[in-house]
């Protein structure tokens, strides 16, 4: 047993140098396994005299205890280190600022931004967001809206017909008003909806594009009157344009699906091709509205109920141009990045509306 001290020394050394739990296990087996070095020494004990058995046996047992404790300590240390490393590797700081250029990579299109603003306002005024299809049938786009065949209003709509012009069954919707019909037929009273979306007319010049956007609003309940409509539209415009003193003018007009009908103008001031809203005494038309026509209720089988309602339809491009001072409608659809970078909105620019 002359080299016993060396065995103990190298065993402890190996434990302290080991860098993983697996290697610790191997060291344990090397010394305390069935054929391990310490076991072999134990076996040799029987050949010793009583005194030798006692001293060496004591040393071996003492070492056994120390070695087990050492292994446990090392194991504990290695486990903690493993967890620390994992935390370090997986750590990410959520408070770190985003790289600047990522924020500037894209822009929200002004139409999208304007729709989001409208959604925020009408949603908070208690209206439900609904959608209708872009391809409509003749009934929803015209007939149910009190525009029967051969009615002159059909000619005003420059309709894109789907399929043959003769069968005239399906159209690209010429306005969002057909969503009124879908809601009247599908919902129980009271109905409070708005429907933004694309609309199409076969028309293209400085103030018209073949595709444009509208938002339709419809409120149907008992005992609604024109003053409810007036209050609603005024409230919407004041919030949308963020001008409490914006003046509105309700001018008598004609739409087949409303009676009485009105067009709404807001007051403005024009100078050097620029329009200043809420100033001066010029007027700018912004939307159409009116009380739902009895024939519309009739087409939706609601004529026997004590129903009354009002509706409105707004061109979204027009609202957007007026609010953000854009001079040309056609720019909206040119996909010119310079224009988008200038007029577009940041992704983080949530509609900032003044509700007072
Ligand atoms: N649909 C009409 C258009 O496209 C706009 C409109 C006018 C909608 C009056 C309405 C309304 O709901 O009541 O010109």
For residue 220, give the nearest of 204, 210, 232 by alpha carbon.
Answer: 232
| Residue 293 shares a structural domain with residue 198 | yes
Of 237 and 45, more confident: 237
| Residue 86 shares a structural domain with residue 124 | no
Residue 97 included in any domain = no
| Residue 237 shares a structural domain with residue 205 | yes
Residue 95 included in any domain = no
Residue with tokens 């894109």: 160
| Residue 225 shares a structural domain with residue 323 | yes
| pLDDT band, residue 1 (cuts 50/70/90) | very low
Residue 143 included in any domain = yes
Cα 316 to Cα 181: distance, rounded to the nearest angstrom: 21
| Residue 67 shares a structural domain with residue 139 | no
Residue 345 included in any domain = no
Asked if 315 contacts 216 with a C-beta cutoff of 8 angstroms, the reply is no
pTM: 0.72
Q: Which H or E element spans position 99?
A: none
Number of H helices, E strands in the chain: 13, 11
Pocket test for ligand 1, best of 203, 260, 289 (most atoms within 8 A of CB): 289
Of 93 and 219, more confident: 219
| Residue 180 shares a structural domain with residue 271 | yes
| Residue 53 shares a structural domain with residue 164 | no
Q: How far is CA 166 from CA 151, 158, 163, 171, in A?
A: 16, 15, 9, 12
- The count of structural domains within the chain is 2
Asked if 251 contacts 263 with a C-beta cutoff of 8 angstroms, the reply is yes
Q: What are phi and psi of 83, to 5 degrees?
A: -65, -45
Residue 344 included in any domain = no
The size of the chain, in residues, is 356
| Residue 217 shares a structural domain with residue 297 | yes
Does residue 343 line the site of ligand 1, with CB under 6 A? no
| Residue 129 shares a structural domain with residue 227 | yes
Our measurement of the distance from residue 111's CA atom to the centroid of its chain's CA atoms, rounded to an integer in Å, reads 15
| Residue 62 shares a structural domain with residue 176 | no
| Residue 253 shares a structural domain with residue 149 | yes
Cα 51 to ligand 1 centroid, rounded to whole Å: 113
Residue at which a domain ends, from 29, 57, 90: 90
* Residue 55, domain extent: 4-90
Give per-residue pLDDT as tens, 155-205: 777 899 888 666 668 999 999 999 999 999 998 899 999 999 999 999 888
Q: The CATH number of the domain where 175 resides is what?
A: 3.30.930.10
Residue 228 included in any domain = yes
Does residue 194 line the site of ligand 1, with CB under 6 A? no
Residue 98 included in any domain = no
Pocket test for ligand 1, best of 132, 255, 263, 309 (most atoms within 8 A of CB): 255
| Residue 135 shares a structural domain with residue 13 | no
Quickly count: other Cβ atoms within 10 Å of residue 96's Cβ.
7
In this structure, the residue with its CA closest to atom 6 of ligand 1 is 313
Average pLDDT, the chain: 90
Residue 130 included in any domain = yes
Cα 248 to Cα 271: distance, rounded to the nearest angstrom: 20
């Amino acid at each position: 047993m002359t080299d016993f001290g060396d065995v103990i020394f190298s065993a402890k050394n190996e434990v302290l140098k080991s860098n993983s739990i697996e290697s610790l296990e191997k060291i344990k087996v090397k010394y305390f396994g069935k054929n391990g070095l310490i076991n072999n020494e134990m076996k040799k004990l029987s050949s010793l005299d009583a005194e030798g058995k006692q001293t060496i046996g004591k040393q071996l047992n003492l070492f056994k205890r120390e070695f087990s404790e050492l292994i446990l300590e090392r194991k504990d240390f290695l486990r903690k280190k493993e967890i620390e490393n994992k935390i370090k590797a997986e750590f990410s700081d959520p408070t770190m600022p985003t790289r600047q250029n990522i924020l500037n990579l894209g822009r929200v299109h002004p139409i999208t931004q304007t729709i989001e603003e409208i959604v925020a306002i009408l949603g908070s005024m208690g209206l439900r967001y609904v959608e209708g299809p872009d391809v409509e049938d003749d009934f929803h786009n015209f007939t149910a809206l009190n525009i029967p065949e051969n009615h002159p209003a059909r000619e005003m709509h420059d309709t894109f017909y789907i399929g043959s012009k003769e069968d005239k069954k399906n159209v690209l919707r010429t306005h969002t008003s057909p969503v009124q019909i879908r809601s009247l037929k599908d919902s129980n009273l009271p109905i409070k909806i708005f429907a933004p979306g694309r609309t199409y007319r076969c028309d293209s010049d400085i103030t018209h594009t073949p595709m444009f956007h509208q938002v339709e609003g419809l409120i149907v309940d008992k005992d609604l009157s024109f003053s409810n409509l007036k209050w609603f539209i005024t409230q919407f415009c004041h919030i949308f344009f963020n001008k409490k003193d914006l003046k509105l003018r309700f001018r008598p007009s004609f739409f087949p699906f409303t009676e009485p009908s009105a067009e709404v103008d807001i007051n403005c001031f024009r100078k050097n091709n620029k329009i200043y809203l809420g100033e001066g005494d010029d007027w700018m038309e912004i939307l159409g509205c009116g009380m739902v026509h009895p024939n519309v209720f009739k087409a939706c089988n609601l004529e026997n109920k004590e129903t009354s309602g009002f509706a409105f339809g707004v061109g979204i491009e027009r609202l957007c141009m007026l609010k953000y001072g854009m001079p040309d409608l056609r720019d909206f659809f040119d996909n010119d990045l310079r224009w988008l970078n200038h007029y577009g909105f940041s992704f983080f620019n949530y509609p900032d509306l003044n509700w007072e």
